[in-house]
Amino acid sequence: MNPPHQALRGFRDILPDEVDRWQFLERVCREVFERYGFREIRTPLLESTELFCRSVGESTDIVRKEMYTFERGEESFTLRPESTASVVRAFVEHSLHRGVASGYPEKLYYIGPMFRYERPQKGRQRQFHQIGVEILGASEPMVDAETLEMLWSFLDEIGVTDRELLLGSVGDTECRPAYRARLMAWLEPRIGELCADCRRRYRENPLRILDCKVEADRRVVADAPTMLGDLCGSCTDHFTSVRASLDRFGIPYRIDPRMVRGLDYYQRTVFEVLASGLGSQNAILGGGRYDGLVETLGGPPIPGFGFAIGMERLLSLVPQDRGRKSETDVLVVALGPAGWEGAVDVVRRLRRAGIRALAPVRERPMGAQLKRADRLGARFALFVGADEIDSGRFGLKDLSSGEQVALEERAVIERIAERLR
Ligand code: HAM
């Protein structure tokens, strides 16, 4: 049992010291994605269980074992294990496809928590966060490549440069049934060597066997036929065009002929980005094309493409110095009782002028106040005492250069604003 004074296993607090870096990721992704015409969408954390069964797939590990599901009255609810299903549900529910009919795809992004009941370990939580994008209404291979180019640009800007793009194709409703039959025929004489889960998968969804984590099973399927070898003409053309555009953009990739992904809605392009230094949970993101999903969820036949990044895994790779903020820009140093009285007004006016400023809440020796300025990473100390209040000129010390000047309050504000720019 989880003790009540501790967060649940696999759930964690994000403390103020870490939040700077989270906000940095959020800020950069908004900036980059909006440059490419994406708009944010926010969907509820709770959805009907049926939504994920239909989209992610009944035979996936996510739906079979990992969902936080509960009943209320006659209904079953699930905390979202991912967001593609929710975004497509919202797209259909609010008829956003009407806009898409005019030839311009809907480009959406989201940031938020997801929930999966997995065994917690390094890089794997039960509540984790994703940054994701979904493009609805375009099947062109250039869309796949351009979205990956955006992703590359985002990873460059946050300083995650040690990464590898794995690319594959899982075919479509045209070519997958024939491949499935070929794979089943190949597996049949080997069923006895597979784990119990895979023996069930053989009946329900044999492609999932290629994704089994059991080492012995992985050895058995190492030589299995691959989807990539069985693609139909139009899937081959699509894949070739995606690769040509990636080459044109200078984005390196490695082909993974047996990439399966853990969700059933994919068609054609699939991909993951791996990073070293993360141990066994080394996928920082995954995604692909899901051309049949809008229809599965009750909409018209509209294609889709997207990816989702695991924020915790990504953050562990962002260089330590990125995104750190000081706690304030100016520390007002109050000198004596008059200074302490006056500091309350000075700090208020600095804040009104848009400057991050702090003053002591009780009288403290000057040395202690300056130590605090250092601890908070303040760029300036502003001295406020009886003399300064009488003369209207305050001592402003630039703590990075040591330079100190006496200025009127208006000039103080101008100088700080200028130096912080
Ligand atoms: P996914 O591969 O299930 O895809 O998850 C994407 C990423 O979320 C993973 O690569 C990983 O970084 C992170 N992640 C997943 N589970 C955990 C966990 N338990 N703890 C920490 N991080 C985790 C999707 O979710 C699809 N919706 C992606 C997509 C969007 N496909 C098309 N559009």
Taking only the tens of pLDDT, the chain with its 421 residues reads 888 999 999 999 999 999 999 999 999 999 999 999 999 999 999 999 999 999 999 999 999 999 999 999 999 999 999 999 999 999 999 999 888 877 799 999 999 999 999 999 999 999 999 999 999 999 999 999 999 999 999 999 999 999 999 999 999 999 999 999 999 999 999 999 999 999 999 999 999 999 898 999 999 999 999 999 899 999 999 999 999 999 999 999 999 998 989 999 999 999 999 998 788 889 999 999 999 999 999 999 999 999 999 999 999 999 998 999 999 999 999 999 999 999 999 999 999 999 999 999 888 999 999 999 999 999 999 999 999 999 999 999 999 999 999 999 999 999 999 999 8
CA distances from 320 to 130, 200, 256 (A): 20, 45, 32
Question: Rounded to the nearest whole angstrom, what is the distance from the C-alpha of residue 311 to the centroid of ligand 1?
Answer: 9
Is 283 inside a domain boundary?
yes
The Cα 49–Cα 76 span in angstroms is 6
190 found inside a domain: no
Is residue 115 included in any domain, yes or no? Answer: yes
Which residue's CA lies nearest to atom 14 of ligand 1?
Answer: 310
Answer yes or no: do 379 and 291 share one domain. Answer: no
Assign residue 109 the CATH number of its domain. Answer: 3.30.930.10
Nearest to 52 by CA among 71, 68, 74, 41: 68
Q: What angle do CA 10, 72, 66 make, to 5 degrees?
A: 30
306 and 334 part of one domain: no
Distance between CA atoms of 204 and 201, rounded to whole angstroms? 5
Together in a domain, 31 and 158 = yes
Ligand 1 atom nearest to CA at 287:
31
Q: Please check whether residues 111 and 251 belong to one and the same domain.
A: yes
Residue 41, helix vs strand vs coil: coil
Q: Of the candidates 302, 308, 267, 268, which has an alpha carbon nearest to the alpha carbon of residue 285?
A: 308
Q: In the listed set 315, 350, 370, which residue is the last one of a domain according to the structure?
A: 315
**Do 290 and 377 sit in the same domain of this protein?**
no
Q: Which of 333, 397, 326 has its CA nearest to residue 359?
A: 333
Nearest to 204 by CA among 292, 289, 264: 264
The preferred substitution site among 33, 114, 150, 266 for testing ligand 1, maximizing ligand atoms within 8 Å of CB, is 114
**142 falls within a domain:** yes
Task: Name the residue range of residue 115's domain.
Answer: 16-175+231-315
Claim to verify: residue 143 and residue 289 sit in the same structural domain: yes
Q: Is the CB of 310 under 6 A from ligand 1?
A: yes
Q: pLDDT tens for residues 104-161?
A: 999 999 999 999 999 999 999 999 999 999 999 999 999 999 999 999 999 999 999 9
**Among 253, 284, 315, residue at a domain's last position:** 315
pLDDT of residue 176: 94
Does one domain contain both 255 and 395? no
Q: Is the CB of 152 under 6 A from ligand 1?
A: no
Q: What pLDDT score was predicted for residue 279?
A: 82
**Residue 122 belongs to a domain:** yes
What per-residue confidence (pLDDT) applies to 247? 98
Count structural domains, the chain.
2
Q: Please give the pLDDT value at position 2.
A: 87
Q: Do 140 and 104 have their domain in common?
A: yes
Same domain assignment for residues 265 and 404? no
* Ordered DSSP codes for 136-172: ES---HHHHHHHHHHHHHHHHHHT----EEEEEE---
280 in a structural domain? yes
**Predicted local confidence at residue 213, as pLDDT:** 87
Residue 117 CB less than 6 A away from ligand 1: no
Q: How far is the CA of 239 from the centre of ligand 1 (A)?
A: 23
CA-to-CA distance for 207 and 222, rounded, in angstroms?
Answer: 13
CATH of the domain at 378: 3.40.50.800
- Under 8 Å CB-to-CB from 359, ≥6 apart: which residues? 331, 332, 334, 343, 344, 346, 347, 384
Looking at the structure, tell me whether residues 24 and 99 fall in a common domain: yes
Closest C-alpha to ligand 1, atom 23: 310
- The last residue of one of the domains, among 289, 315, 341, is 315
At 99 the pLDDT is 81
String of b and e for 158-178 (b: at least 16 CB within 10 Å)?
A: bebeebebbbbbbbbeebbee
Tell me the three state secondary structure of residue 419. helix
Question: Do 292 and 162 belong to one domain?
Answer: yes
Q: pLDDT tens digits, residue range 294-353? A: 999 999 999 999 999 999 999 999 999 899 999 999 999 999 999 999 999 999 999 999
pLDDT for 140 equals: 96
Residue 376 covered by a domain: yes
**Whether residue 409 sits in one domain with residue 336:** yes
Which pLDDT value is given to residue 388?
Answer: 95
Q: Is 66 in the pocket of ligand 1 (CB under 6 A)?
A: no
Measuring from atom 11 of ligand 1, which residue has the nearest CA? 310
Structural domain contains residue 9: no
| Tokens linked to 63 | 């739906």
Tell me which residue has its CA closest to atom 18 in ligand 1: 124
